[in-house]
């Protein structure tokens, strides 16, 4: 049982892990999935429990298209690390159940704390359920909508620092994210990277 926070790619030193947080979202998740399919890329979707419960069709599509699921808590409370263990347990385990039910029985393979608010307790709990704690190396800052060019530039500048790249498919207008993926995925391939999943 590995309770350390994963960053490495199962594709080795030239691997990149695309991770997509906070969905699924009925408007943006299908567009992200379409771009990933166009470029033959598999990603890890870190889903919020309430969103998964509301959009089971999208959770099932994510699984059907070969992507992996990640537990991103029930309600995306970025102060989770300041809360009681009972609260943390409810957030981690209820989201795991919601995502598994929405997917039709496919369990999340990772746990990513909202805003990176991990605790030793939540990491151990997740690992005990077979979910590897998942971090990131490249924060595209796409959540702040800095412009497609800025998102692309961040990936190009920072991907050498580590393989796990953070995008979002919910939480507002994600058109810049969709467009950035359309530009970044072929660029990464041209640079000799291959797309994988975070190590477990």
pTM (2 d.p.): 0.98
pLDDT at 94 over 90: yes
pLDDT digits (tens, 9 = 90+) for 132-169: 999 999 999 999 999 999 999 999 999 999 999 999 99
- Flag whether pLDDT at 111 surpasses 90: yes
- pLDDT by residue (tens digit) across 38-77? 999 999 999 999 999 999 999 999 999 999 999 999 999 9
> Of these residues, 55, 67, 76, 168, which one is catalytic?
168
The candidate with the shortest Cα–Cα distance to 22, out of 64, 54, 57, 66, is 54
Q: CA torsion 137→142→144→146, rounded to 10°?
A: 110
SS3 letters for the chain? CCCCCECCECCHHHEEEEEEECCCCCCHHHHHHHHHHHCCCCCEEEECHHHHHHCHHHHHHHHHCCCEEEECCCCCCCCHHHCCHHHHHHHHHHHHHHHHHHHCCCCCCEECCHHHCCCHHHHHHHHHCCCEEECCCEECCHHHCCCHHHHHHHHHHHHHHCCEEEEECCCCCCHHHHHHHHHHHHHHHHCCCEEECECC
Domain 16-196 sits in CATH 3.30.70.100: no
The mean predicted confidence, pLDDT, of the chain is 97
The answer to whether residue 168 is catalytic is yes
The answer to whether 21 is a known catalytic residue is yes
List the catalytic residue out of 21, 22, 25, 71.
21
């Amino acid at each position: 049982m590995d309770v350390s926070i994963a960053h490495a790619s199962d594709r080795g030193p030239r691997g990149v892990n695309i991770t997509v947080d906070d969905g699924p979202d009925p408007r943006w998740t299908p567009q992200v999935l379409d771009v990933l399919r166009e470029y033959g890329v598999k990603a890890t979707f870190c889903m919020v429990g309430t969103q998964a419960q509301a959009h089971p069709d999208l959770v099932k599509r994510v699984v059907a298209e070969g992507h992996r699921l990640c537990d991103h808590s029930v309600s995306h409370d970025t102060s989770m690390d300041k809360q009681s263990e009972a609260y943390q347990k409810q957030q981690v385990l209820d989201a795991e159940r919601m995502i598994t039910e929405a997917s039709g029985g496919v369990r999340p393979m990772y746990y990513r704390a909202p805003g990176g608010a991990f605790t030793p307790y939540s990491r151990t709990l997740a690992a005990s359920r077979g979910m590897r704690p998942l971090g990131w190396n490249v924060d595209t800052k796409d959540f702040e909508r800095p412009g497609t060019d800025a998102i692309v530039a961040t990936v190009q500048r920072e991907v050498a620092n580590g393989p796990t790249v953070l995008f979002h498919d919910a939480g507002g207008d994600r058109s810049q994210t969709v467009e950035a993926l359309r530009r970044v995925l072929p660029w990464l391939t041209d640079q000799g990277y291959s797309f994988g999943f975070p190590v477990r």
